[in-house]
Amino acid sequence: DQQVKQNSPSLSVQEGRISILNCDYTNSMFDYFLWYKKYPAEGPTFLISISSIKDKNEDGRFTVFLNKSAKHLSLHIVPSQPGDSAVYFCAAGPYNTDKLIFGTGTRLQVFP
């Protein structure tokens, strides 16, 4: 029973364009959401988060949007750079939780 779903296993985007990665969740108790980035042979690294009291959080080129009614969040990267090529995991849980539920990841490839 996947409570956090990333339905696109991969995404290919040209350098300079926008990358949009999507994530859906089913558990209405989730109120904190995070995006992690993972390079091969490394552990996931925290990228950006959002709590359910907001619908948008921005950090430089990265913006996360949350649509609570649709139980959907997305990560926008603009402009995309080749160094952004990695696997992106969405994670969710109740606020101040020790237990995060991760999606299966979306592999982003940014080509020149």
Partner 1 sequence: DTAVSQTPKYLVTQMGNDKSIKCEQNLGHDTMYWYKQDSKKFLKIMFSYNNKELIINETVPNRFSPKSPDKAHLNLHINSLELGDSAVYFCASSQKGVSEQFFGPGTRLTVL
> HSE (CB half, 13 Å, CA atoms) of 96?
0
- Minimum distance from residue 84 beta carbon to partner 1 (Å): 19
> Which pair of structure tokens corresponds to residue 100?
């995060």
| Cβ nearer to partner 1, comparing 87 with 110 | 87
Q: How far is CA 99 from CA 17, 72, 92, in A?
A: 34, 19, 9
Distance CA 77, CA 37 (A): 12
| Cβ nearer to partner 1, comparing 42 with 60 | 42
- Minimum distance from residue 36 beta carbon to partner 1 (Å): 8
| Contacts to partner 1 by CB under 8 A | 32, 34, 36, 41-46, 49, 87, 89, 93, 95-100, 102, 104-105
